[in-house]
């Protein structure tokens, strides 16, 4: 069943429809040939799915140096004028020059970190015995691109019964405009529709619905309910990324030891 009016308070930005709840029947049957990646791992205890908040990587590492060079134009111009004329430029020049320096500098650092800082994978684990979901979440803050504490990975733990999936579509700044479709997971206050947290689950609605259906089938019935995948899982930490500088520089996935053990065991 796919709900036609928002169930949650508040629905996700660009809400399109809600997916069935964690203990309801899936709305779609997973079809492996159209899915981007097979599960990272599946056994009787837990299912791990690959996840990425940044869809395309490898462009920002080349754009960032170009923007940084643009940031150097105002101070270089100021020095050249000072040497050539001996006069200090006017206040208006300083004002616009400062903007012309800070804006590309901020942009270059932000674009660089967005391309390099996210880990090679941001997996999510579903433990059917503990009825818990473990999320390897990458956090960022565009207003603080130089901050160390505002950027990084945290492992979050949620109750399976408190998760809700939403299909969303928004128009993004892609030339003349482009439709960006995602499936997000919301964490609700137990027994209510009040959202207390929300995070990205999958790109494209069809794929997100299928991955959510896989999680439902696994948590409700076990690994035998999942379809067979024709391809083996990827080793995100050790795959060949020779031609993608951003992925080469990206940190590997390393779960905190305590959460790693808990997420992989039944008790």
DSSP string for residues in 24-68: SPPSS---GGGSS---SEE-SSEEEE---S----SSHHHHHHHHH
Task: Report the C-alpha gap between 188 and 201 in whole angstroms.
Answer: 16
Q: What is the pLDDT of residue 209?
A: 97
Rg, C-alpha atoms of the chain: 23
pLDDT of residue 167: 96
What pLDDT is stored for residue 56 in this prediction?
A: 85
Question: Is residue 95 very low, low, confident or very high in pLDDT (cuts 50, 70, 90)?
Answer: confident
Check residue 80 and give its pLDDT.
87
* Spatial contact of 173 and 18, defined as CB atoms under 8 Å apart: no
Burial class (CB in 10 A: 0-12, 13-18, 19+), 122: buried
Look over the chain and give the mean of its residue pLDDT values, rounded to a whole number: 91
Instruction: Dump pLDDT digits (tens) for 100-112.
Output: 999 999 999 999 9
The partner residues of 150 in beta bridges, in order of sequence, read none
- Ranges assigned E (strand) in 119-247: 124-127, 132-139, 152-159, 163-172, 178-188, 195-203
pLDDT at 208 over 50: yes
Q: What is the mean pLDDT of residues 88-103?
A: 83
pLDDT at 43: 96
- Strongest mean pLDDT among 134-148, 186-200, 230-244: 186-200
pLDDT, residue 2, reads: 52
Helix axes 91-116, 60-85, angle to 10 degrees: 160
Q: Looking at residue 143, what is its pLDDT?
A: 86
Residue 8: predicted pLDDT: 95
For residues 161-189, average pLDDT: 84
Q: Which pTM value belongs to this model?
A: 0.89
Residue 178's pLDDT band (cuts 50, 70, 90): low
Distance CA 83, CA 195 (A): 60
Report pLDDT digits (tens) over 48-68. Answer: 999 999 888 889 999 999 999
% helix / strand / coil in the chain, to the nearest 5?
35, 25, 40
Answer yes or no: are the C-beta atoms of 14 and 168 closer than 8 Å: yes
- 92, burial (CB in 10 Å: exposed 0-12, middle 13-18, buried 19+): exposed
């Amino acid at each position: 069943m796919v709900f036609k009016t928002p169930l949650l308070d508040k629905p996700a930005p660009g809400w399109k429809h809600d997916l069935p709840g964690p203990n309801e029947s899936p709305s779609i049957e997973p079809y492996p040939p159209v899915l981007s990646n097979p599960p990272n791992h599946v056994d009787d205890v837990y299912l791990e799915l690959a996840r990425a908040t940044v869809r395309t990587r490898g462009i920002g590492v080349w754009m960032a140096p170009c923007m940084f060079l643009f940031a150097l134009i105002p101070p270089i111009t100021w020095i050249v004028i000072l040497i050539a004329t001996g006069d200090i430029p006017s206040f208006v020049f300083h004002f616009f020059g400062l903007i012309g320096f800070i804006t590309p500098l901020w942009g270059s650092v932000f674009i660089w970190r967005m391309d390099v800082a996210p880990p090679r994978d941001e997996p999510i684990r579903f433990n059917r015995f503990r009825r818990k979901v473990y999320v390897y979440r990458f956090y960022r803050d565009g207003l603080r691109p130089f901050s160390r504490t505002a950027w990084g990975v945290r492992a979050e733990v949620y109750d399976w019964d408190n998760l809700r999936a939403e299909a969303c579509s928004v128009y993004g700044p892609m030339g003349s405009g482009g439709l960006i479709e995602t499936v997000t997971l919301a964490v609700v206050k137990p027994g209510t529709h009040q959202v207390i947290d929300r995070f990205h689950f999958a790109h494209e609605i069809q794929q997100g619905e299928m991955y959510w259906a896989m999680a439902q089938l696994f948590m409700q019935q076990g690994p035998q309910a999942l379809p067979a995948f024709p391809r083996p899982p990827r080793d995100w930490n050790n795959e060949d990324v020779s031609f993608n500088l951003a992925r080469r520089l990206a940190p590997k996935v390393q779960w905190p030891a305590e959460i790693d053990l808990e997420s992989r065991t039944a008790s």
